[in-house]
């Protein structure tokens, strides 16, 4: 996970690591995933990438987006990227973010790069939860598919795919190539029973995924804001989560925690119409 997943400091994958990197160097591959904080506390800025995965093929997940602050995201509409609230500072005009799309290799000269014009941060993130945000782009992105959202909890089960350019090991380095991995659903009771920050899991706002007993596969620093997705009944990709936080990366008894997209799908849609 990106800015929400780190060693217990705060509940955001995108905390200090990402913010200091952006402020100091504005580096495209800056780390950003936050670690879990208390239920009402917002995540911080330390990112996480996919651990225990493999390289994605060009065009396999065309709606994946890399954000210049060190997070990930998914193309929600031709002009809006869905990411995590902990990956951005506030709602308002913002031209400081660059979205990279259309490639798995961040060094690929054919990448589409578009600046932001506006950011909308979930108004409930700091209170009742909802780690999601929208980034409006300066122009529409043509020819790249969008990723639909799950609007009901029917798909919050089974196996999911997570993807990102984050670390492949805890406290590692951001990746040049997009990585992917499969992680199984973890029910709320099992997730909360892992203790520590997981005691504060918000069942209506968050969904857990990972290999609880053995660990080994997970999102990590730098993956924050990226999508957790699976196939729907029509065999089409659908987004069920947003990489949010976790304790370390791929540790046993420390599954990844993702924003439960179905809970916020209506709010996301309403916000997208306004910006």
Q: What pLDDT is recorded for position 169?
A: 86
Q: What pLDDT is recorded for position 4?
A: 58
Q: What pLDDT is recorded for position 197?
A: 94
Tens digit of pLDDT for each residue in 102-158? 999 999 999 999 999 999 999 999 998 999 999 999 999 999 999 999 999 999 999
Which CATH architecture fits 153-262? Answer: Beta Barrel (2.40)
For the stretch 150-155, contacts whose Cβ atoms lie closer than 8 Å and that sit 24 or more positions apart, written own/partner, are 150/232, 150/238, 150/239, 150/240, 150/261, 150/262, 150/265, 151/262, 151/265, 151/266, 152/262, 153/260, 153/262, 153/263, 155/230, 155/232, 155/238, 155/240, 155/262
Rank 38-42, 49-53, 70-74 by mean pLDDT and report only the highest.
70-74
| 246-267 average pLDDT score | 97
Is residue 243 a contact partner of residue 198, using CB atoms and an 8 Å limit? no
Domain ranges in the chain are 153-262
Q: Is the pLDDT of residue 171 over 90?
A: no
If pLDDT is split at 50, 70 and 90, which confidence band does 67 have? very high
Tens digit of pLDDT for each residue in 173-188? 889 999 999 999 999 9
Average pLDDT, the chain: 85
Q: Is the pLDDT of residue 96 over 60?
A: yes
Rank 7-21, 30-44, 52-66 by mean pLDDT and report only the highest.
52-66
Q: What pLDDT is recorded for position 7?
A: 33
User: What are the catalytic residues?
Assistant: 86, 131, 224
Tens digit of pLDDT for each residue in 22-50? 333 333 333 333 333 322 233 333 333 48
| SS3 assignment, position 114 | strand
Share of the chain above pLDDT 90, in %: 77
Q: What pLDDT is recorded for position 22?
A: 32
Higher pLDDT, 167 or 7: 167
Q: What pLDDT is recorded for position 173?
A: 85
């Amino acid at each position: 996970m990106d800015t929400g997943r780190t060693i217990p400091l705060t509940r955001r994958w995108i905390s200090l690591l990402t913010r200091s990197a952006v402020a100091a160097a504005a580096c495209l591959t800056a780390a950003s995933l936050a670690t879990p904080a208390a239920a009402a506390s917002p995540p911080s800025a330390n990112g996480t990438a996919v651990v225990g995965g493999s390289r994605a093929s060009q065009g396999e997940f065309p709606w994946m987006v890399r954000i210049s602050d060190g997070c990930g995201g998914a193309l929600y509409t031709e002009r809006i990227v869905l990411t995590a609230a902990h990956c951005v500072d506030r709602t308002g005009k913002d031209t400081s973010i660059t979205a990279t799309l259309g490639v798995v290799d961040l060094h690929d000269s054919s990448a589409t790069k578009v600046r932001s014009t506006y950011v909308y941060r979930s108004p409930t993130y700091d209170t009742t939860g909802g780690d999601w945000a929208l980034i409006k782009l300066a122009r529409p992105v043509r020819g790249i598919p969008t990723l639909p959202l799950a609007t009901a909890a029917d798909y919050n089960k089974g196996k999911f795919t997570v993807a990102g350019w984050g670390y492949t090991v805890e406290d590692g380095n951001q990746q040049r190539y997009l990585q992917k991995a499969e992680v199984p659903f973890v029910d709320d009771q099992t997730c909360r029973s892992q203790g520590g920050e997981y005691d504060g899991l918000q069942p209506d706002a968050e969904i857990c995924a990972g290999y609880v007993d053995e660990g080994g596969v997970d999102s990590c620093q730098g993956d924050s804001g990226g999508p957790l997705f699976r196939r729907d009944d029509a065999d089409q990709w659908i987004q069920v989560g947003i990489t949010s936080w976790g304790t370390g990366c791929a540790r046993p008894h420390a599954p990844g925690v993702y924003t439960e997209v179905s809970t916020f799908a209506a709010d996301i849609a309403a916000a997208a119409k306004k910006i």
